[in-house]
């Protein structure tokens, strides 16, 4: 790739939206070209600046007004449905809902962590783009075999790591970024009985995962032995499942069962 | 265990549906409102548009696929609601406008392309400068920059919201960012923070 080609792909490059081959070619070019390196750094700085703009929230009065309108609209829906749906079915639904809603899933806790970390100036305790450094850092700190996968071919970069707390015990947290979108990868040790996950079961490349959306973030989680893995991001499910699949494969390769 | 929504939404009462809507969609109210503000440039109108969007989304909530990005879905509804308004006011230029812009853009100077290292507006920009600069962008660029850089949607999601190919998203984004940067540089000079280039 030359400078002109990089210039034409600059935006998808910094956004992590280039294809695998272009991404690698762009990386190669940038390594050897200080001019383009500076250009990329400036573009990243600009995007960072945009991202840090204060976010205005909706006025409280508007929020209230919308709630009232929804309640009113929901009543009408209910009236219409009562005539169409049998009372028996309604009773079943009413009996099931509270039971399914009551437990706070571990994944919700991870989403809260993801949000909290994303708001911190320095979310990672260890800042490193090198996966081996990150793995070694965890070896000294947690009793978990943490695997850090290289997702750079999908435009996802390792940013760093920290020890997070989930279910009141230490968990590993690896932070990645695709363009400007953070991706958190958690590994939480669990007791056997806690291995049940809450959400929608999906099968991806022959393995089962659980997906759940919370507060606008998508999560993909699965259990492996005595640990739960959880990916949290605004990235779409295809990207998350691909990352999950790579992580699972990498762990299987490192320690064949 | 499947998500209860999939199984029970057909039976759920309006009240359950509302609660679920609040949990899944209404958490994005801030994002809808901010975007409405950026589209309309007017607070009263933005509030009205936000209400309209939420009610439309609630009525169509059964069409939302829980495996997809709810924010992107809401932005699509917001965008449609906004365009309906413009159309009602006989702003029929919308579509032809965007088509023209993909070919010819307001000119981006070399400054907009950020070839100069002295862009210091990062440090000196006043609160509200970004929104002011954004407001000056033609709609097709504004919406793409807004969805990507302020609301963090992926190119694929933006393409779906805006209803155009990913290639168009890319070209609008790169031009939009250049125009935005140019406007910010201009504000910084007007405010006397950055000296004129020699």
Same-domain status, B64 and B107:
no
Same domain membership, residue B64 and residue B98: no
pLDDT tens sequence for chain B (198 residues): 444 444 444 445 677 788 889 888 998 999 999 999 999 888 888 999 999 999 999 989 888 887 788 999 999 999 999 988 888 776 544 544 444 444 445 555 554 444 444 456 666 667 778 888 888 899 999 999 999 998 889 999 999 999 999 999 999 999 999 999 888 888 877 776 655 554
In a domain, B195, yes or no: no
Span A93-124, pLDDT tens digits? 444 443 333 345 788 889 888 888 877 777 78
Residues spanned by the domain of B82: 13-88
Whether residue B109 is found in the same domain as residue B82: no
Classify residue B196: in a domain, yes or no.
no
Could you tell me if B85 lies within 8 Å of chain A, comparing CB atoms? no
Q: Are B102 and B178 in a shared domain?
A: yes
Residue B2 inside a domain? The answer is no
B7 lies in some domain: no
Q: Do A10 and B155 touch (CB under 8 A)?
A: no
Q: Are residues B19 and B77 in the same domain?
A: yes
- What ipTM is given for this predicted complex? 0.78
Q: Which of B72, B88, B104 is the endpoint of a domain?
A: B88
Report the domain count for chain B: 2
Same domain, yes or no, for B74 and B101?
A: no
Q: In what order do the strands lie in the sheet with A217-224?
A: A126-127, A156-166, A169-178, A181-189, A227-233, A217-224, A207-214, A200-204
What residues of chain B lie within 8 A of the CB of A81, using their CB? 13-14
Domain CATH for B129: 1.10.10.10
Residues found in chain B? 198
Determine contact, residues B38/A247, Cβ cutoff 8 Å: no
Q: How would residue A245 be classed by pLDDT, with cut points 50, 70 and 90? A: very high
The per-residue pLDDT for B9 is 42
Asked if A137 and A128 touch (Cβ cutoff 8 Å), the reply is: yes
Does residue B121 sit in the same domain as residue B36?
A: no
Shared domain check, B169 and B110: yes
Q: Are residues B117 and B157 in the same domain?
A: yes
* Contacts B34 to A, Cβ<8 Å: 55-56
Distance from the A234 Cα atom to the nearest Cα atom in chain B, whole angstroms: 8
Rounded alpha-carbon distances, angstroms, from residue B130 to A49, A158, B30, B43: 10, 29, 18, 17
User: What's the whole-model pTM score?
Assistant: 0.59
Q: Does B59 touch chain A (CB under 8 A)?
A: yes
What's the CATH code of the domain at B47?
Answer: 1.10.1740.10
């Amino acid at each position: 790739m030359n400078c002109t080609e990089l210039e034409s792909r600059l935006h998808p490059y910094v956004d992590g939206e280039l294809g695998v081959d272009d991404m690698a070619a762009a990386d190669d070019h940038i390594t050897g070209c200080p001019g383009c390196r500076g250009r990329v750094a400036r573009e990243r700085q600009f995007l960072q600046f945009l991202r840090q703009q204060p976010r205005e929230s909706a006025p409280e009065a508007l929020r209230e007004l919308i709630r009232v309108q929804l309640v009113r609209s929901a009543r009408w829906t209910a009236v219409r449905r009562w005539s169409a749906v049998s009372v028996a079915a309604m009773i079943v639904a009413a009996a099931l809902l509270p039971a399914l809603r009551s437990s706070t899933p571990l994944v919700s806790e991870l989403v809260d962590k993801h949000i909290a970390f994303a708001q911190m100036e320095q979310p990672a305790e260890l800042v490193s783009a090198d996966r081996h450094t990150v793995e070694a850092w965890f070896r000294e700190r947690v009793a978990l075999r943490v695997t850090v996968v290289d997702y750079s071919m999908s435009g996802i970069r390792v940013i760093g790591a920290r020890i997070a707390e989930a279910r009141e015990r230490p968990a590993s947290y690896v932070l990645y970024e695709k363009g400007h979108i953070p991706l958190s990868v958690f590994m939480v040790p669990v007791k056997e009985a806690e291995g049940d996950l809450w959400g929608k079961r999906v099968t991806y490349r022959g393995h089962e995962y659980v997906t759940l959306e919370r507060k606008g973030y998508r999560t993909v989680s699965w259990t492996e032995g005595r640990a739960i893995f959880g990916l949290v991001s605004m990235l779409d499910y295809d990207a998350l499942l691909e990352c999950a699949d790579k992580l699972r494969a990498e762990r299987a390769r490192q320690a064949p069962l | 265990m499947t998500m209860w929504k999939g199984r029970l939404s057909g039976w759920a009462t309006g009240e359950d549906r509302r609660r679920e809507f609040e949990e899944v969609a209404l958490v994005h109210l801030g994002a809808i409102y901010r975007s409405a503000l950026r589209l309309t440039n007017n607070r009263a109108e933005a509030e009205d548009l936000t209400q309209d969007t939420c009610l439309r989304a609630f009525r169509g909530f059964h069409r939302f696929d829980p495996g997809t990005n709810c924010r992107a879905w809401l932005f699509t509804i917001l965008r449609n609601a906004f365009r309906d308004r413009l159309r009602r006011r006989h702003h029929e230029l919308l579509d032809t406008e965007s088509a023209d812009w993909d070919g010819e853009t307001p000119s981006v100077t070399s400054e907009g392309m950020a070839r100069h290292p002295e862009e210091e507006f990062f440090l000196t920009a006043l609160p509200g400068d970004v929104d002011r600069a954004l407001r000056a962008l033609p709609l097709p660029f504004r919406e793409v920059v807004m969805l990507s850089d302020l609301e963090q949607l992926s190119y694929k999601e933006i393409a779906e919201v805006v209803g155009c190919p990913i290639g168009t998203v890319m070209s609008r984004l790169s031009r939009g960012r250049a125009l935005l940067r140019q406007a910010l540089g201009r504000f910084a000079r007007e405010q006397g923070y950055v000296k004129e280039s020699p």
